[in-house]
Amino acid sequence: MALTSIGWTDISLNPGVYGCSEVGPDCSRCYAAVQAARLAHMGMSRYMGLTHETVSGMHWNGTVRVNYREIAVAFSKLPKRKPARVFVTSMADLFHDDVPDDFLDQCFAHMAVRPHLTFQILTKRTARMRRYFERPDLGMIIRNLHALAPDALRRGANSNRVTLPLPNVWLGTSAGRQDLLEQRIGDLLATHAVEWFLSLEPLLGPLDIRPYLGTACESCGATAPDVDWCALDSSYADGHVIAVDNPMIRMSRTNCGPAWKNSANLDAKKNELTNVTSPTTR
Ligand code: SF4
């Protein structure tokens, strides 16, 4: 666990995932790969053997390791009562294919027993994330793991019941170009979550997220947003971002069953734009 300078979160948490592989051109300046190489060079064995250097810089070599024993240890270090936003797996991609489902089950069970914390999951592998959350047995698995949590934690969660989607888990994807966003966002928005978010960094080309901001209610015609909020790397904004005015707005969603009932109050939330200044991904 570490306090972080990332503007849209309070704490970054790595529950035991090490390594990654690139899934698109917007991975080419992966901050995590550079950090992993640095930490390996400093002698941290868990980061050794994960990266290689090319003429374009440091990259992951595709090795991914998970350490189940670190899950409980990492979550136990989080604030016990104080609310905070927690960015889970800032140094890898939690939904990498080499992260097993039962590892994810344990992570989400730990999130379920900490309702005072908001967990932010950012992935470029939205198809895998969607498959994971569509598993019919997922609720039962997380409930079973939840029941094994210490009494004190279960009391913190108020009851032994776990409902999906978890009310304190936000799901997001990052993309640096329109085609990459379109590859990923469909699966994100098809995955049930209380909040959906985007991270548009590093910007490699034009991006317009207006198509993902609102869908008309079939019964009343009102418009409600899809994406709830968006983080933008302002250092790349020169002329590339088309839809900065409206998209960088956090919006509330009101569910009216199969369709949307209430229009979103866009203006009321205008000030929640988050500028991210890191010039690298993740
Ligand atoms: S940007 Fe994310 S998905 Fe891409 S290589 Fe880095 S950690 Fe993996």
Q: What is the pLDDT of residue 51?
A: 96
Q: What is the pLDDT of residue 183?
A: 95
State the average pLDDT over residues 130-144.
87
- Measured CA to CA, the distance from residue 147 to residue 151 in angstroms comes to 9
With a cut of 70, say whether residue 269 has pLDDT above it.
Answer: no
20 Cβ below 6 A of ligand 1: yes
- Full domain range(s) for residue 57: 2-259
Q: Poorest-confidence range of 10-14, 86-90, 137-141? A: 137-141
Count CB-CB contacts under 10 A for residue 40. Answer: 17
State the average pLDDT over residues 83-90.
95
Structure tokens at 194: 């209380």
Asked if residue 244 belongs to a domain, the reply is yes
Asked if residue 170 belongs to a domain, the reply is yes
Q: What is the pLDDT of residue 248?
A: 34
Q: How large a percentage of the chain has pLDDT more than 90?
A: 48
CB 131 within 8 A of CB 96: no
234 Cβ below 6 A of ligand 1: no
Residues whose CB is less than 8 angstroms from the CB of residue 123 and which lie 6 or more positions away in sequence, other chains included: 93, 94, 95, 129, 171, 172, 173
Give the position, in ligand 1's atom list, of the atom nearest the Cα of 60.
Answer: 5
Q: How many domains does the chain have?
A: 1
Q: From atom 5 of ligand 1, which residue's Cα is the shortest distance away?
A: 22
Who has greater pLDDT, 28 or 130? 130
With a cut of 70, say whether residue 145 has pLDDT above it.
Answer: yes
Asked if residue 281 belongs to a domain, the reply is no
Ligand 1: residue of 22, 52, 99 to mutate (most ligand atoms within 8 A of CB) is 22
Separation of CA 87 and ligand 1 centre (Å)? 14
Give the amino acid at 62: G
Asked if residue 273 belongs to a domain, the reply is no
Asked if residue 101 belongs to a domain, the reply is yes
With a cut of 80, say whether residue 57 has pLDDT above it.
Answer: yes
- Measured CA to CA, the distance from residue 189 to residue 193 in angstroms comes to 8
Separation of CA 37 and ligand 1 centre (Å)? 14
With a cut of 90, say whether residue 132 has pLDDT above it.
Answer: yes
HEC secondary structure over 156-211: HCCCCCCCCCCCCEEEEEECCCHHHHHHHHHHHHCCCCCEEEEEECCCCCCECCHH
With a cut of 90, say whether residue 221 has pLDDT above it.
Answer: no
Asked if residue 179 belongs to a domain, the reply is yes
Separation of CA 281 and ligand 1 centre (Å)? 7
DSSP secondary structure letters along 43-66: T-GGGTTSEEEETTEEEE-S--EE
Who has greater pLDDT, 61 or 139? 61
- Measured CA to CA, the distance from residue 205 to residue 223 in angstroms comes to 28
Q: What is the pLDDT of residue 262?
A: 23
Confidence of residue 244 (pLDDT cuts 50, 70, 90): very low
Asked if residue 182 belongs to a domain, the reply is yes
Mean pLDDT value across the chain? 76
Separation of CA 192 and ligand 1 centre (Å)? 23
Residues whose CB is less than 8 angstroms from the CB of residue 255 and which lie 6 or more positions away in sequence, other chains included: 261
Asked if residue 277 belongs to a domain, the reply is no
- Measured CA to CA, the distance from residue 199 to residue 197 in angstroms comes to 7
